[in-house]
Every structure is written in C-alpha cells, then in structure tokens.
Amino acid sequence: MNEYVPGLEGVPATKSNISFIDGEKGILSYRGYPIEVLAERSTFEETALLLLDGNLPARPMLKAFDQDMRENRRVKFRIRELMRQMSPNGHPMDMLQSMMACLAMYYPDADGFVGGDHGADLDYVHNTSVRIIAHMTTMVAMWEHIRNGYDPIEPRTDLTHAENFLWMLTGKEPDRYIARIMDICLILHAEHTINASTFAVLVAGSTLASPYSVIASGIATLSGPLHGGANQAVVKMLHEIGTPEKADAYIEAQLKAKKKIWGFGHREYSVKDPRAVILEHLMHKFAAYKEHKVGPLFAIAQAVEKAATDRLGAKGIYPNVDFYSGVLYAEMGIVPDQFPSLFAMSRVAGWLAHWKEQLGQNRIFRPTQVYTGEMQRDYIPLERRV
C-alpha cells in the first residue's frame, strides 16, 4: 500500500478485543460491556481489571486487585525529592511524564520481562500495571501540594481509588457522593480504542521498551490540546464567553473566523459522544447535590452546546468527552491545568491493557512513507555554495 492517508485516518493499526466504538450509533463498550452500564454499576478498580484481564472479575480476584492497588500507593521518597526540584510553574503533564520515566530507575527489572518473541511474564505485567496505576494517581495528587510549596499528603489504604485521590488532593475527608462522581469520570476516560496516545503506547511497546517509558510516551501524546489537553481549553473558552447570553455570538464569531470550538467534534463520532451524555447527566446530579450552588460554567456550557449544535449538528459535530469533563472538574475545585493529568491517570488502565495485548502479538511498528524529495543531487563543495 503506497497511498498516503493523512493522520492514518481509517487505517487499521492492530487487532484488539479491548474496546469498541460505533460512531454513528454513539456506542462505546469495554470488553463488550456498554460504557453506560459500567458507569452505572462498576467501579474504576473493577473496570481497570476488566480492561487488563478481559473479564469481569470474581469477588476474590477483585478484592486482591483492590488490595494490591492500595498497597502500591506510596512512592519512593527519591521520587518526591525529584518532584521538589522541578519548576512549580511547569505543566503537571510535564511533571507526570518525567516522573513516570524516572520510575524505571527504581524498578529496573523491566529488561527481563519478555519471554520469547511473542510472550511475556504475565505476573510481571500484572504487578507492574498495578504499580503504575496506583503510583500515577499518587503523583498527580502530590504535585498539587509540592508545586505550591507544601509537603504532599500521605495516601491511605482504607479508601477507594477515587476517595484516596480526593483525600490526597485536598487533605479533607472525601465526600462519598463526590468520590463516586470522580469514580465514574475515571471509568469514562479509561479506554477509547486506538487513539493517538494509545497508538504511541503501542509503538513504544512494540520495541520492548520499559513499561515506564511506554506509559511516559502515552502521557506525552495525551498532553497536546488536540487530545487530553482539550478539556482545559474548554474551561478557558467558557470563561472567555462569560455568560450564557454571549454564547451564540461567540460561536458565530468563531465559525466565521474558522477557529476551533473546543470540546466539539470527534474523529470517531458523528453523534454526541456517549461519554459526554453521561458527564452532562453527572453535572446535573452534582448541581442538585450542591442545591444548585454552583458557578456559571455549566449554564454557559449548555448555551454553547445549543448554539454550536444548531450550526454544526447537521455536519455530525457534537460535544465530545472533553466538553463537560472540564466543567465538572472545575466545579469539584480542581484547577484546570490538572485536568489532563486526571485524564492520564484514568487512561493508563487502557494503555496498560493495550501494552499487554501488544506483547502477546508483538511485531515492531515500522510504517513506510511516500517520499516527496529529489531522487539524486550533486554534492557541492562548501566553498562553491552561494
């Protein structure tokens, strides 16, 4: 195949049974389970193990996985000291990518995990996956304190994954209702077929790189505003609009100027992203729980959705997962530049599932190109060049 397809759009890069999308019907499923069902009935811990192992776990297996996650929340003190040396003005995703790569220095057994050309030590893969998922959440929460000049808050083993994150982030006893909303957000962001960051993970994984380097590559790719950084841009856009009454004029001006409307459109969906539907519903529930004592962002977002959908819906452009996730996180008191990090600490479950799958069918990625340069040129000595 010599045809160039920009962005590899529609070009299959691998075979996978991890997740499925039907963009015309608005369907997303993990291992055959609809995202709506998992959001309603599952937990992030159960969903992560489902992604990693392929089936809903029996109670003993889930309990063991949950306990392993709790016991792996603490990070080496040298990681904490490295974080202290970083610029407090840097983006949290740059910290996260750096620290993820640094973990390989403290867990150097990665070189021996591959058995043969197409196999792996499954115990090593599982244990490393648990450590990475648990450590990533800890590091995201630690950074919020360290960059503000404070000592990080120690993790607790008596809390769920979502509860512990909120505890470490705020230092306050987590509200169980808010923690459940956070838990659902983690489920919604955990996996989404072969997106840009997952493809980066596959490419790095195919070289048999350290799993910490593999996940660092995913974090780097996710950090861009066209991927995981979009929900941060959404909140900035909503603040710029200011009030719901200004939404219509703002959207009209953006479209006339051919500028992007953040949080709208998706390569896979021609209908409203099913995750956006759930997140909007969660925001309604959050507002009701807070007796509607919330800021203006949600009302502005709904006005923007109507104005943009009226103009773009016929083209199959609707809100994606980033549109309401940023609003919800902002109302939960999380600062906008941490939004992509929350995305990463969710998506890491999917990345690790794809890494494990890649190891079982591994062949190094080596795509070709369409060469557009000159075929042969005469070398001109330096003194004769003008």
Q: What amino acid positions are annotated as catalytic residues?
A: 266, 322
Cα separations (Å) of 170 from 91, 155, 163, 175? 19, 12, 11, 11
Phi, psi of 21 (to 5 degrees): -130, 135
Phi and psi (nearest 5°) for 57?
A: -75, 150
CA distance 287 to 214: 39
**Residue 231 to residues 256, 319, 351, Cα–Cα distance (Å):** 23, 11, 20
CB 11 within 8 A of CB 367: no
Find out whether 227 and 196 touch, Cβ atoms under 8 Å.
Answer: yes
Residue 336 is classified by DSSP as G
For the chain, how long is the longest CA-to-CA vector?
A: 78
How far is Cα 52 from Cα 349, in angstroms, rounded to an integer?
Answer: 7
Q: How far is CA 99 from CA 32, 352, 361, in A?
A: 34, 17, 29
Amino acid found at 153: I
DSSP bridge partners of 29: 20, 34
The total of other beta-carbon atoms located within 10 Å of residue 286's CB is 19
Provide the β-strand partners of residue 60.
none
Beta carbons of 358 and 205 less than 8 angstroms apart:
yes
Q: How many residues does the chain have?
A: 386
